[in-house]
A and B are shown apart, each in its own frame.
Chain A
Amino acid sequence: DAGVIQSPRHEVTEMGQEVTLRCKPISGHDYLFWYRQTMMRGLELLIYFNNNVPIDDSGMPEDRFSAKMPNASFSTLKIQPSEPRDSAVYFCASSLSRTGELFFGEGSRLTVL
């Protein structure tokens, strides 16, 4: 299996621009998670889906952030408009079950200037 695939791996953008991060989970995994990692705040859970339905989005920082999962093999995390404080590594992870092992993608490193 190819594992969790994320794109882009690196994104540099200017403040105010829209950013879209993409994730393809492992086939057959019913759970998909979006995490954000920074030095100051560590690994934060932003949102997770079960069978394409958002279950808990309490970690989404503010309305500028939105996430969708239109089908079982694709999810997006969108930031509009982006701000410098959004600079971080964004990880997508998938899991077979609610309490199972998390398989992480390689991450998308976002820099907002």
Chain B
Amino acid sequence: GQQVMQIPQYQHVQEGEDFTTYCNSSTTLSNIQWYKQRPGGHPVFLIQLVKSGEVKKQKRLTFQFGEAKKNSSLHITATQTTDVGTYFCAGASGTYKYIFGTGTRLKVLA
């Protein structure tokens, strides 16, 4: 079945450093979503990408969907302590069932 992997699994950065997480699907995706989950919280929607090669920005966050629609990335510029949490991608294929990636846990050191 469809699998969605994310790397790295964990990332510790110094406040102010950049951070990138990568998402790779075993199958071609119709679209991809990104979520953030704070420690002890629930996933919260960040963004959805639909088009091949699409790039979207939200303040310090940049999201990219690969040309082949099998991978995606999230880049955070100049991390802040409020960025702490686990970032998940969720890919939907033909069945439009969102399969969540394995997640990247970000820790920001002040």
Contact = CB atoms under 8 A, between A and B. Distances in A.
A101 B42 contact: no
A12 interface: no
Contacts, number: 44
Interface stretch (A19-27, A41-49, A62-70, A73-81): A41-49
B65 to A, nearest CB: 14
Interface residues of A, number: 19
Interface residues of B, number: 22
Contacts of B103: 42-43
B43 A42 contact: no
Q: Indicate the member of A35, A42, A93 with the most B CB atoms within 10 Å.
A: A42
B95 A91 contact: no
Q: Indicate the member of A99, A105, A107 with the most B CB atoms within 10 Å.
A: A99
Chain B interface, >50% SS class:
strand
A68 B41 CA distance: 25
Interface of B: 30-31, 33, 35, 41-45, 48, 88, 90, 92, 95-103
13 contacts: A33-B98, A43-B43, A43-B88, A45-B98, A45-B99, A56-B97, A93-B43, A99-B48, A101-B33, A102-B33, A102-B98, A103-B45, A107-B42
